[in-house]
Amino acid sequence: MATVLDSHFLALTAIVTLGYQIFFFIITALLKFDKVTDFAGSTNFVIIAVLTLIIKGSWHFRQVVLTSLVVIWGLRLAIFLLMRILQWGEDRRFDEMRSNLGKLAVFWIFQAVWVWTVTLPVTVVNASDRDPSIQAEDIIGWIMWSVGISFEAAADQQKLSFKNSPENRGKWCNVGVWKYSRHPNYFGEIFLWWGIFVASTPILEGAEWLVILGPIFLTLLLLFVSGLPLLEESADKKFGNVAAYRIYKETTSPLIPLPESVYGNLPLWFKAIFLFEFPFYSRSLPHEGLNW
């Protein structure tokens, strides 16, 4: 059994992740170059998955499959985000951070925590000696991952094509999967990482079940911190006075894809409790907006 610092590779992955993010933080801070930020985050997932698989060296089928799923997701996202930022220019998220080293450092530390925490299921699977036969949980998890990455990839490509069309300049994206969810890319990302957790469960024992903190952390992060709240606020400020946008927002699910004919007719209390339509997502709408 290969053991590096600890039998579950938790310390190893923490050190590698922190070192990798510090390296790119230094590049960003010295060169004022933030085009590699998302690339650094996405490729870090790939490094952790492949590193733990190779160091353990047992090459169980479940380990190979989960590692491959993380690699496919990470490389697709890294390449897409890098090409997008190179095409669009500077990342506006860092407008206030470029001259504030403290804020920039906090962001990169948070990104390291994000990577390490979300990769916990595949890290523990790759570190395990257990190799039970393929079970229903494996199949369900792989299907969830497939659905999630399909949504995420489709949403990314559809929005990129929409924004690249001159006739859509100054409009919000409401084509393809964006007809059914205001943030289908985030739905896909959350769903696929819950799928990876589900596929990891056949080998989990005792405290190893704490790897559920990975998908929980990702879900909370996107729902309450850096995902939906920021994008909802930005869109509301841009389009809040446009009647068609207000209708789109009222009839389109914030996360889970649903037909507008279904979502638009649901009561607000149901949307808030079961579909993540939280009132603070509309706090930047003009006062005549949704009546919470």
Q: Hey, what amino acid is at 175?
A: V
Q: Hey, what amino acid is at 91?
A: D
Are the C-beta atoms of 215 and 118 separated by less than 8 Å? yes
Q: Hey, what amino acid is at 253?
A: S
User: Torsion angle of alpha carbons 218, 223, 228, 229, nearest 10°?
Assistant: -120
* Distance between CA atoms of residues 199 and 13, nearest Å: 20
User: Torsion angle of alpha carbons 170, 172, 158, 21, nearest 10°?
Assistant: 90
Are the C-beta atoms of 56 and 88 separated by less than 8 Å? no
Give the pLDDT score at 120.
98
Residue with tokens 């060296």: 57
Helix segments in the chain, DSSP class H: 10-31, 37-56, 61-88, 101-118, 120-127, 136-164, 184-200, 213-224, 228-239, 243-251, 260-263, 268-274
The three-state secondary structure class of 253 is strand
**CA-based nearest residue to 183, from 268, 252, 286, 265:** 252
* Distance between CA atoms of residues 154 and 170, nearest Å: 21
Are the C-beta atoms of 23 and 14 separated by less than 8 Å? no
- Cα 72 to the center of its chain, rounded Å: 14
* pTM of the model as a whole: 0.92
Q: Hey, what amino acid is at 235?
A: A
Give the pLDDT score at 169.
87
Are the C-beta atoms of 48 and 8 separated by less than 8 Å? no
Q: What are phi and psi of 177, to 5 degrees?
A: -70, -15
Q: What are phi and psi of 4, to 5 degrees?
A: -125, 105
Residue with tokens 């916990």: 120
* Distance between CA atoms of residues 9 and 69, nearest Å: 19
Give the pLDDT score at 289.
45
* Distance between CA atoms of residues 51 and 62, nearest Å: 16
Beta bridge partners of 4: 6
Q: Hey, what amino acid is at 238?
A: K
Q: What are phi and psi of 262, to 5 degrees?
A: -85, -55
Give the pLDDT score at 85.
80
- Mean pLDDT, contiguous 10-residue spans, the chain (292 residues): 75 96 90 81 97 97 98 96 76 60 86 97 97 97 98 96 90 95 98 98 97 98 94 93 94 97 95 96 75 45
* Distance between CA atoms of residues 42 and 81, nearest Å: 9
Are the C-beta atoms of 232 and 284 separated by less than 8 Å? yes
The three-state secondary structure class of 4 is strand
